Amino acid sequence: MIEMDLQNAWSVASKDFEIFKRRKGVLYATIAFPLGIALGFPGVLVAIESVAGTGTISASVAPFLNAFSFWYVIGAASLPTGIASYSIVGEKIQKSLEPLLATPMTDSEILLGKSIAAFVPPIAAIWASSVVFMVMIDLVTHAGLGYLYYPNWSFGVILLVLAPLASILSIELTVILSARANDVRSVQQFTGVMFFPFLIIYVMTEIGVIQLTIINLLIMSGIFLVVDLLLFYLSIATFKREEILTKWR
Amino acid sequence: MDEGEVFGFLGPNGAGKTTTIRMLTCLISKTSGTARIGEYDIGNSLDQPKIRRIIGLVPDNVGLYEELTAYKNLDFYGRYYKVDETKRRERIEYFLKLLGMWDKRDLAAGTFSKGMKQKLAIARSLIHDPQILFMDEPTANLDPEASKTVRDFILALKKEKKTIFLNTHNLDEAQRICDRIAILNTKLMAYGTPAELERSASGRKVVVQLESVNNAIISAAKKVATGNVEVGEGNKLTIGVNDPEKENPDIMSAIGAAGGRIQFVTEASSTLEDVYLKLVRSQ
């Protein structure tokens, strides 16, 4: 049975939000990546259109649009690692974990608080930039397609189900790796490896091996959910007061 | 430990001082034995959150949130302990003013000197008004001025009757601050008030300064003294005694009867440093 007081978890998350606001590098990276997706791909389409000189974007780009939206899952999986690694390994380096662990909060509350802190800013940035992305894509493709491509159900599943699950997976993995790491960069290097499976899925969608249909997206979400649950129990088992103080390097 | 007492835990590096504090603050488990904090057992997992609620910890590394202001550092810890907002604000203001840091409340903790950081860490540990405060080498690595500031703050807490468990290897600090001291070197070597420990090392001795010393005086002193009589430089006799309050009058009478002219009498005792070194080296 996991003992949990959400107010305690929120207190830990609030503190991490305050620190996050002051770490400009992490803050800018969290905003820049999803914004880059939102502006970059429509920009590429406009560039292709101007080179081709067709005046409008043809309907043949539709499958690429669908595949491209998977970048939001990649973003959701990679962005929280920066915050989570600073939040856990950063505290370990600053030696601020010991006084925190001496408070009455449970290990699970501290872990949940840190997870919320790593989850909320990237997901908020991804959702906010997705609005920009949808508007931009509709603006540049409406004339050629003859209809508004976004919003659609697939993108809805990507944003509301798959991206959060990918984000949780990445946070849990960062927690587990943090137990073995003694600097922020090494955690980020390890979690960076996680980027590749997502990139492979993206490439497979672009070349048509995987179709991002709602069914396929829900199957993927189911797999992510199972992995998330497994990693959740593993991260709970890793994040123990005594282990942190005696075994974490 | 008694309520309102400052208890010193002395020992060399690696003696187990930090491990003991971590056990008592329920950060790590004990392997054997028992310890109680107030009415709670440190080995009982149901008691552990209750123990954490009534204690404050100043770890050997201050562990402040360097990016956050002094105020925010205290405020978040107040929230962790569920101190209500009004009380939190009052206590933060009280401690920051007490420590002379109120003007610096909006500065990031990372910009502070080591002494200021240490003071802030102590204030952080007190924000929820704990019954017992555990401090792990609070003056280690501080310059003399910063050490004094921290020591003065601990003395102010002592006046407020706070119960304090102080880990240190600063003997002078222990002697000045602590009511009782335990000397540890992986096991408990000695335990008592500073005065008791000083006496325990070599027994009690009295030093008699005479105008001149001769054999008749030495013989007279040896007849009545329960311990050794040693002749020192400058006409001094150092006499071992078991119970100076009872024995001293007889010794002084005997010396006087033998023609000795006493200039002054003092009690000789080992310093805490002597006791500490003797115990630590004996292992």
Res A19 pLDDT > 80: yes
β-partners of residue B166 are B8, B135
Give the per-residue pLDDT at A125. Answer: 96
CB contact under 8 A, A18 and B68: yes
Query: Three-class SS of residue A13?
Result: helix
Q: What is the pLDDT along chain B (283 residues), one digit of tens a residue?
A: 888 899 999 988 888 999 999 999 999 999 999 999 989 999 999 999 999 999 999 998 899 999 999 999 999 999 999 999 999 999 999 999 988 899 999 999 999 998 899 999 999 999 999 999 999 999 887 888 888 888 888 888 888 889 999 998 888 889 889 999 999 988 888 899 988 888 776 677 888 999 999 999 999 989 988 888 888 888 999 888 888 888 889 999 999 999 999 999 988 767 788 788 878 777 6
Rounded Cα gap, residues B234 and A24, in angstroms: 73
Q: Is B124 on the interface with A (CB under 8 A)?
A: yes
Give the per-residue pLDDT at A245. Answer: 81
CB contact under 8 A, B27 and A98: yes
Query: In A, which residues are within 8 Å of B59 by CB distance?
Result: 95, 98-99, 102
pLDDT class of A1 with cuts at 50, 70, 90:
low
Res A34 pLDDT > 90: yes
Q: Is B57 on the interface with A (CB under 8 A)?
A: yes
Query: In B, which residues are within 8 Å of A99 by CB distance?
Result: 57, 59, 63, 77, 121, 124-125
Distances (CA, A) of A244 to A28, A220, B48: 30, 33, 17
Give the per-residue pLDDT at A56. Answer: 66
For residues B34 and A246, the model is more confident at: B34
- Mean pLDDT lowest for which of A154-158, A241-245, B253-257? A241-245
CB contact under 8 A, A104 and B81: yes
For residues B47 and A193, the model is more confident at: B47
CB contact under 8 A, B57 and A102: yes
Q: Is B65 on the interface with A (CB under 8 A)?
A: yes
Chain A residues interacting with chain B (CB cutoff of 8 angstroms)? 7-8, 11-12, 14-15, 18-19, 22-23, 94-106, 241-242, 245-246
Give the per-residue pLDDT at A246. Answer: 79
| DSSP line for A146-177 | SS---S-HHHHHIIIIIHHHHHHHHHHHHHHH
CB contact under 8 A, B63 and A8: no
pLDDT class of A132 with cuts at 50, 70, 90:
very high
Domains, chain B, ordered by start:
6-192 (3.40.50.300), 201-269 (3.30.70.100)
Give the per-residue pLDDT at B232. Answer: 85
- DSSP letter at A60? G
Res A249 pLDDT > 70: no
Q: Which of A22, A92, A101 is best to mutate for the B interface (most B CBs within 10 A)?
A: A101
- Mean pLDDT lowest for which of A40-54, A55-69, B207-221, B246-260? A55-69
Query: In A, which residues are within 8 Å of B28 by CB distance?
Result: 241-242, 245-246
pLDDT, chain A, mean: 88
Residue type, B33: G
Shortest Cα distance, chain B CAs vs residue A172, angstroms: 23
Res A179 pLDDT > 80: no
**Considering chain A, what percentage of its residues have pLDDT values greater than 90?**
49
Res A188 pLDDT > 80: no
CB contact under 8 A, B67 and A97: no
Which tokens is A198 given?
């997502």
CB contact under 8 A, B28 and A241: yes
Shortest Cα distance, chain B CAs vs residue A71, angstroms: 32
Half-sphere CA count of B92, side-chain side, radius 13 A: 22
| DSSP line for A68-79 | HTTHHHHHHHHH
Res A190 pLDDT > 80: no
CB contact under 8 A, A104 and B52: yes
pLDDT class of A163 with cuts at 50, 70, 90:
very high
| DSSP line for chain B | --TT-EEEEE--TTSSHHHHHHHHTTSS--SSS--EETTEETT-TTTHHHHHHHEEEE-SS----TTSBHHHHHHHHHHHTT--HHHHHHHHHHHHHHTT-GGGTTSBGGGS-HHHHHHHHHHHHHTT--SEEEEESTTTT--HHHHHHHHHHHHHHHHTT-EEEEEE--HHHHHHH-SEEEEESSSEEEEE-HHHHHHHHH-EEEEEEES---HHHHHHHHHH-SS-EEEETTTEEEEEES-HHHHHHHHHHHHHHTT--EEEEEEE---HHHHHHHHHHH-
Query: In A, which residues are within 8 Å of B26 by CB distance?
Result: 102
Of B98, B35, B42, the residue nearest B70 (C-alpha): B98
To 5 degrees, how large is the angle CA B72–CA B76–CA B77?
Answer: 120
pLDDT class of A55 with cuts at 50, 70, 90:
low
**Other CB atoms within 10 Å distance of the CB of residue A222:** 12
Give the per-residue pLDDT at B226. Answer: 86
CB contact under 8 A, A104 and B80: yes
Interface A:B, Cβ pairs < 8 A = 77
CB contact under 8 A, A98 and B28: no
Q: Is B23 on the interface with A (CB under 8 A)?
A: no
Q: Is B59 on the interface with A (CB under 8 A)?
A: yes
Find the residue in B nearest to A96 (Cα): B63
CB contact under 8 A, B27 and A241: yes
CB contact under 8 A, A98 and B68: no
Query: Three-class SS of residue A213?
Result: coil
Give the per-residue pLDDT at B280. Answer: 79
pLDDT class of A187 with cuts at 50, 70, 90:
confident
Rounded Cα gap, residues B234 and A237, in angstroms: 71
Res A124 pLDDT > 70: yes
CB contact under 8 A, A19 and B65: yes
Res A86 pLDDT > 80: yes
Calculate mean pLDDT across residues A167-172: 94
The model's pTM is: 0.82
